[in-house]
Amino acid sequence: MKNPFRTFLITIVILIVVLIGLNFWNAEKKLPQVDYSSFIAQLADDEITKVSITGGTIEATDKFGREFTTYAPNISTILERLENKNITISTRSPQPPVSLFSPLLFILFMGGWMFFMMRQQKPGGGGLFNKNKSPITPEKKTDVTFDDVAGIPEAKEELVETVECLKDSSKFTKLGGHIPKGVLLQGPPGTGKTLLAKAIAGEAGVPFYSMSGSDFVEMFVGVGASRVRNLFEQAKKNAPCIIFIDEIDAVGRSRGGAGAQGGQDEREQTLNALLVEMDGFKSGETVIIVAATNRPDVLDPALLRPGRFDRQVNILPPDVKGREKILKVYAQKLKMGEDVNLKSVAKNTPGFTGAELANLMNESALMAARKNKLCIELPDIEESKDKILMGAERKGMVISDQEKKVTAYHEAGHAIIAEVLPDADPVHKITIIPRGRAMGVTMQVPLDDRHSYSREYLRARVMTLLGGRTAEEIIFNQFTTGASNDLQVATEIATRMVCEWGMSDLLGPRAYVKSDQSFLGTGAARLSYSGETAQAIDMEINKIIEDCYQETMILLEGKIGYLHKLSEVLLENETIDAEEVNIILKCKEVSKLNQEMLQKKRTETQMM
């Protein structure tokens, strides 16, 4: 059994030889076969003494003791003749024919399964059934340091102490304290949690064990727990070191929740092993567990208590200064043009995470390469940003002149409301070229990073969203499906104003939903309230949207001349930027046209 593969092959060869021998032996035992007409002739001459019938096959014995077989197409027609001759008749039920291939396939399947099982039992086999995997080797010393991590200075400051613990733990233990066992990095996707964990290992110069939460979870109970014990065993042997568990929510979800199956649940057993191992460090074993997640709300409370994950570091999207530093880090690896102002790019990318900024710079490099440029220029970055935010241009899409005209007025309605309202975000660009699933896009960019929103800003946001539908009603006296997404977003904002932020005059400062604690924004659960309250909530939501709609209608009717001119420019150029929008809105000729159109409308109204 030292070589199971050779043993397996020898066994299969022997079985095949035995099966072939059995088939030859069965072939020699077969009776000679005669045709049916010869059998009838012998029967008529009273030469048949005994027959055995199996289905349509007849095995007969003649008066000389010779045996042979034949096949009768219809047994019922010959039975009467056999009975009249007083011949001994025996019958048997038909048996399926024995083939070499049926048992051979079965043997091959069983042999393959046995070989698979033997392979799984070998140390380091790496299969589903292998609990004692080969020793886990740490990643090679990473070259990533804190210099490669930009935009999150607060998180880096909190982790400097962790690095010092790894370099010299005696500095902290000589006073009787103990080093933190775990650091939980929590934040939205793309904010640099994994990069920060590698930077800790790079700064400390210690082994770095990296695994994902899903690596521990298998369909077979006990495998994940065994892998946890194996990981910690190897880490203790190589202390000081870092264990990094990415997406720990895959294994660290709260016990007893939906989908749990008591003590037999594999995920729960793995979590129990992880909790025990985190409590099992002895003095002198400097092993720090760094974990990352974007769902801290679903983690088990036992993981988050002091003594396990002592430090919980929030990593949020960077502000404008952080974005500029991140852009500089990535710009060092690229050939940038002299016209590129990274500070301006950072200002125009609010809400971008580190991963999104990296993607922006990479897309800009690809864009410049497609145009055979020697370096990345500012238009390449702007075009890449538009592609990321609004989707790729669908220039090949065939649009009728009427649809194009409706889209131009729709986007012009958005833009005018955004420029007229003082609390709205300014317009950055307008296009009627289809992008993604939208027929046109009006992109707004806030002047500063916003961390809280006033009631006036939210109302301005709702009015801007309703500006497109309102413009369609004023100009064409009809509605299109182009406003579907605008209406969904406007309704969601109004609902959150009433149910979550307490911005209702009727209901007052009360919240009717439990806010979502995750970074993913998966939605908030409604609290229990009466049917009368639900009716009042619906009335308030409708009131906010209806009031905003009426105000939007009044504003656009007062800017009817600007609406026509902006739509005309859009139809001609297809894409215009903020500077061109401001020129149109401040043009004296357009202002005069607007006054004439308003006067004309008043005269028509008086005549009616």
Query: Between 521 and 582, whose confidence is greater?
Result: 582
- % the chain with pLDDT above 70: 80
Q: Where are the domains of the chain?
A: 4-92, 146-255+266-314, 320-390, 401-607
Average pLDDT of span 384-410: 84
pLDDT, averaged across the chain: 79
Q: What is the pLDDT of residue 158?
A: 79
**75-84 and 36-44 helices cross at what angle (nearest 10)?**
20
pLDDT digits (tens, 9 = 90+) for 307-329: 888 888 888 888 888 889 899 98
Cα–Cα distance list, 500 to 46, 122, 258, 490 (Å): 104, 57, 26, 15
Q: What is the pLDDT of residue 362?
A: 92
In the block, residue with structure tokens 């070191």: 241
Which CATH topology does 4-92 take? Answer: 3.30.720
* CA 48/CA 42 separation, integer angstroms: 6
Q: How many CB atoms lie within 10 A of CB 314?
A: 15
**Helix/strand number for the chain, H first, E second:** 21, 14
Which CATH topology does 401-607 take? Answer: Methane Monooxygenase Hydroxylase; Chain G, domain 1 (1.20.58)
* CA 197/CA 210 separation, integer angstroms: 9
pLDDT band at residue 282 under the 50/70/90 scheme = low
Average pLDDT of span 60-67: 76
Q: What is the pLDDT of residue 538?
A: 92
pLDDT digits (tens, 9 = 90+) for 440-471: 888 888 877 777 889 999 999 999 999 999 99
* CA 55/CA 525 separation, integer angstroms: 71
In the block, residue with structure tokens 């504003």: 555
Residue 562 has pLDDT above 50, yes or no: yes
Maximum average pLDDT range among 22-26, 148-152, 306-310, 340-344? 340-344
Q: Tell me, yes or no, if the two domains 4-92 and 146-255+266-314 fold the same way.
A: no
Sequence letter at residue 129: F
Q: How many CB atoms lie within 10 A of CB 116?
A: 14
* CA 276/CA 37 separation, integer angstroms: 86
Q: Please check whether residue 192 is in contact with residue 152, taking contact to mean a CB–CB distance below 8 angstroms.
A: yes
Q: How many CB atoms lie within 10 A of CB 221?
A: 16
Residue 503 has pLDDT above 60, yes or no: yes
Closest by CA to 209, choosing from 183, 178, 238, is 238
* CA 366/CA 584 separation, integer angstroms: 34
- Catalytic positions, written as ranges: 411
Which neighbouring-strand residues pair with 186?
293, 314
Cα–Cα distance list, 257 to 186, 260, 299 (Å): 21, 6, 11
Which CATH topology does 146-255+266-314 take? Answer: Rossmann fold (3.40.50)
- 3-class SS at 588? helix
Q: What is the pLDDT of residue 111?
A: 64
Query: Between 182 and 3, whose confidence is greater?
Result: 182
pLDDT digits (tens, 9 = 90+) for 84-120: 777 777 776 665 555 545 565 566 666 666 665 555 5
Average pLDDT of span 80-85: 72
Lowest mean pLDDT among 124-133, 147-156, 487-496: 124-133
Residue 123 has pLDDT above 50, yes or no: no
**CATH 3.30.70.260 is the classification of domain 320-390:** no
Average pLDDT of span 195-224: 75
In the block, residue with structure tokens 């904002």: 493
Maximum average pLDDT range among 24-38, 193-207, 342-356, 546-560? 546-560
* CA 163/CA 146 separation, integer angstroms: 11
Q: What is the pLDDT of residue 516?
A: 62
Q: What is the pLDDT of residue 96?
A: 56
Query: Between 537 and 181, whose confidence is greater?
Result: 537
* CA 95/CA 372 separation, integer angstroms: 77
In the β-sheet with 311-314, what is the strand arrangement from edge to edge?
A: 208-212, 241-246, 287-293, 182-186, 311-314
